[in-house]
Amino acid sequence: MYAEVIVDISHTQVDRVFEYRIPSEMEIRPGMRVKVPFGKMKDTEGIVIGIKEISDYEPDKIREIIEPLESFCALTEEQIHLAEFIQKKYNTTLAMALRFMLPAQVRGGRISAKTQRMARLILKGQELEQAERALLKKDGRPRSPKQMEVLTFLKHNGQMALRELNTSAVHALEKKGILEIVRAEIARLPFEKSVPRTRDYELTEKQKQILEAIRNGKQKRFLLHGVTGSGKTEIYIRVMRDCIAKGKTAILLVPEISLTPQTYLFLKQRFDEEIAVFHSGLSAGERFDEWMKVKRGKAKIVLGARSAIFAPLDDLGAVIIDEEHETSYKADNYPKYTAHEIAEERCRLSGALLILGSATPQIETYYKACRGEYELLKMPNRLFGLQLPAVEIVDMCGELKKGNRTAISGRLYEELEHTLSQKKQAMLFLNRRGYSTFVMCRSCGYVVKCGSCDVTMTYHKTQDILKCHYCGRTKVPETVCPICGKPHLKYFGTGTQQIEEQVRQMFPQARVLRMDLDTMTTKGAHLELFEDFAAHKADILIGTQMITKGFDFKNVTLSAVLAADTMLNIPDYRSAERTFCHITQIAGRAGRKEPGTVILQTYNPKHYAIQYAKYHDYEGFYREEIAMREMAQLPPFSTYVQIQFSGEREEQVVEAVKDFIRRLKAVLLPHKRGIISIRASEAAIKRIKDMERYHILIHLKNDEDLIGQIYQLFQKTRYGNVLTGIDINPVNMA
Ligand code: ADP
Ligand code: ZN
């Protein structure tokens, strides 16, 4: 028998499968990690991706597997298929694809868990009682209180870490044959909080109906379009319960790392089963432990951000993608896969259910549902007859005329006052952190920019410093303009820090919290802040988009978007969609228990995205948007392929772009009709971290074949000092 092996997946650039003979006494299965000789190296690590009886090579040229690295398969067959799918779909190497399936700590060594010395009771029942009596003096008091304490601990817990116990007492008890010291594996728990178990809700009629539709669906792929607060999460829980009951497993994907702690604690309240957590915020050790937990079959439910879609589960019963519209489901490194695409393939391979849930599905997803690729399930109402909050649009042009120079309109001020007087809570949303977003000289127009990036620097008042939000470079603010020498440097553009200051000045008695990247620097910060706000330790929460995601605060009756049009001005075909989506999500945070109000401050009150959001009318928005996209030949009716070039020397980057265009034209020539446009240009932010950036944007009709050809050309074209990347319908078009 012969094994097909990918060698050294952490380093290899070559995409080749090597064959090795399996010694007759050795048991090797696909997915196992093995030690093999390779080139001049005596042994290196390989992964078996297939077994065959006849080799394509001459017998004397074939080398033998030295030994398996573990007795179990590090990868499941399904994962191997998935890697092959990724290899083809994103035209990448199999080794690269396999890396998604194995955490880095698992590669390049033997799999071993963290161990710790533990004291464990040997004696049981009567023997234990006897030994215990022997520890007592005649008067019933212990001879050694320390030893008695250790014994009592162990009677409760069975075993305990040595370092938590009195060592000399432990050794004394060991000598007496009462306990033994062993090395045991311990799991590094990402979240140690314990939570009380709560019972399942009685499902509402609507929830029952949806659950039945999922159980009986022929399609096995669903789009659950439910307004905020319609009870989608409860559906997810029941679907996962179904999986467990059938001996299957499930994956629940959530968009943000920061969202995972809440969701984890919430799931723990509802499941007796162990839950594994996968996301990039975990430490290396934690990630390894979570992976092992799944590998051993200890955890049947996996919760995590996009990479959790690769979790090594067997018998997958369902994949649920919550808030499926979130852009974080697309990878930001190459290959730029989306969790949706991987999930679809994985569900196809395993026969698992795929459920995409959102109050504001992506236009592309909804379009697919309308065409029957997903079964569309609708939950148009909030639970228990609760109304969606009333949305009021405030035209900010009027505010300027009234002489209001703050970012808080008169109407919002009134509503905040009212909310505070009712002892309720409010959330204010602004998509810019810092104090002032740029500094400009009023005399000559000079703007302070980062030395390494082509972006303005943001003023952070708390530290009295200018910061670049792209590379982190900082600078002490100047008092006179370095160009014209006049003392006319002024601060413009309001960020969250300034809002906080304004709100504190307006409402000195209110307790204000701010939540943005600057206040979220430590690991537990998010959960802490979340809990503080939930416990009403603050009245007003100010934040960037972080605060729009999935929060369910019962006491929030007011939420406000301070600048609803910032996203409208971004040159991207999805700017209206994103505006609608953000507003709807923010509106969804208010009035989750009693009627709420939403205030939208904007300079574009008539824009259709804002108007439809006012009436919570997703379908209306969808109809208008999809008609426009069809007319303008925008995705999903076409595709954008973006090729990025970056390098330290601009002329080299430009040369590479020119060269690629020449090659591209040769490839695309026979397909002229399929091409809508090709454009090469500087990136909107031309320089980041001292790298000059250019793009080629190819807009073409939907044609998998043609896209494949572009991918192939990309793959085989390399430029020494210029880095390149390829992306389909990039999240950021600029
Ligand atoms: P969505 O995810 O659609 O925004 P959630 O699932 O968060 O909505 O539900 C909103 C709130 O209602 C949550 O606090 C949830 O625990 C609660 N809830 C959901 N279903 C029920 C039910 N059947 N009975 C009582 N409360 C429920
Ligand atoms: Zn910078």
What are the Cα distances from residue 52, in Å, to 3, 30, 447? 6, 10, 66
ipTM: 0.96
Ligand number with the minimum distance to the CA of 452: 2
- Most confidently predicted of 117-131, 579-593, 627-641, 672-686: 627-641
How many Å apart are CA 166 and CA 186, to the nearest integer? Answer: 20
Residues facing 724 on adjacent strands: 645
Q: Is 12 part of any domain?
A: yes
Task: Looking at the structure, tell me whether residues 271 and 367 fall in a common domain.
Answer: yes
Rounded distance from Cα 437 to ligand 2 centre (Å): 14
For residue 186, the model assigns a pLDDT of 59
Do 180 and 210 lie in one domain? The reply is no
Q: Do 608 and 680 sit in the same domain of this protein?
A: no
480, part of any domain: no
My answer on whether 614 and 685 are in the same domain is no
Nearest residue (by CA) to ligand 1, atom 20, is 231
Q: Are residues 570 and 693 in the same domain?
A: no
Task: Flag whether 243 is marked binding.
Answer: no
Ligand 1 environment, Cβ below 6 A = 201-204, 207, 226, 228-234, 383, 552
Q: Is residue 584 part of a domain?
A: yes
Ligand lying nearest the CA atom of residue 584: 1
41 inside domain: yes
Residue 616 backbone class (left: φ over 0; alpha: ψ -120 to 50; beta: rest): left
Closest ligand 1 atom number to CA of residue 379: 3
Considering the domain architecture, whether residues 364 and 239 belong to the same structural domain is answered as yes
Q: Give the residue from 151, 186, 221 where a domain finishes.
A: 186
| Residue 399 pLDDT level (bands cut at 50, 70, 90) | confident
Q: What is the pLDDT of residues 452-494, one digit of tens each?
A: 888 888 888 888 889 888 778 888 888 889 889 888 888 888 8
658 and 619 housed in the same domain: no
Residue 370, annotated ligand binder? no
Mean pLDDT calculated for residue range 595-624: 93
CATH number of the domain to which 256 belongs: 3.40.50.300
pLDDT of residue 547: 62
Is residue 481, in this structure, part of any structural domain at all?
A: no
pLDDT value, residue 112: 57
Q: Which domain holds residue 419?
A: 387-433+495-629
- Domain count for the chain: 5
- Domain harbouring 15, CATH code: 3.40.1440.60
43 DSSP assignment: E
Looking at the fold, whether 246 and 367 belong to one and the same domain comes out as yes
Q: What is the mean pLDDT of the chain?
A: 88
Report percent pLDDT > 90 for the chain. 46
Q: Is the pTM higher than 0.90?
A: no
The answer to whether residue 472 is domain-embedded is no
Q: Are 158 and 150 in contact (CB under 8 A)?
A: no
**pLDDT digit string (tens) for 7-66?**
876 666 667 889 999 998 899 999 999 999 988 888 888 899 999 998 888 878 889 999
Q: Are residues 560 and 501 in the same domain?
A: yes
Give CA–CA dist 27/6, Å, rounded: 18
- Distance from first CA to last CA of the chain, Å, rounded? 53
Residues 295 and 367 in one domain: yes
Q: Of 124, 158, 186, at which residue does a domain stop?
A: 186
* 484 belongs to an annotated ligand binding site: yes
Tell me what pLDDT residue 393 has: 95
d(CA 672, CA 662): 15
Last residue of a domain, one of 107, 134, 160: 107
For residue 258, what pLDDT band results from cuts at 50, 70 and 90?
A: low
Give distance in angstroms: CA of 449 to centre of ligand 2: 8
Is there a domain that residue 487 lies in?
Answer: no
Same domain, 712 and 589: no
Q: What local confidence, expressed as pLDDT, does residue 54 receive?
A: 87
Asked if residue 334 and residue 251 are part of one domain, the reply reads: yes
> In this model, does residue 189 exceed pLDDT 70?
no
Q: What is the pLDDT of residue 85?
A: 95
pLDDT at residue 256 in the model? 76
Confidence of residue 355 (pLDDT cuts 50, 70, 90): very high
Mean pLDDT of the 711-732 span:
89
CATH number at residue 703: 3.30.70.600
CA 232 to ligand 1: nearest atom: 3
195 domain-assigned:
no
Q: Buried (b) or exposed (e) across 448-484, using 16+ Cβ within 10 A?
A: bbbebbbbbbbbbbeeebbbbbbbeeebebeeebeee
What's the CA gap between 408 and 228, in Å, rounded? 26
**Rg of the chain, C-alpha, whole Å:** 30
Say whether the peptide bond before residue 335 is cis (omega within 30 degrees of 0): yes
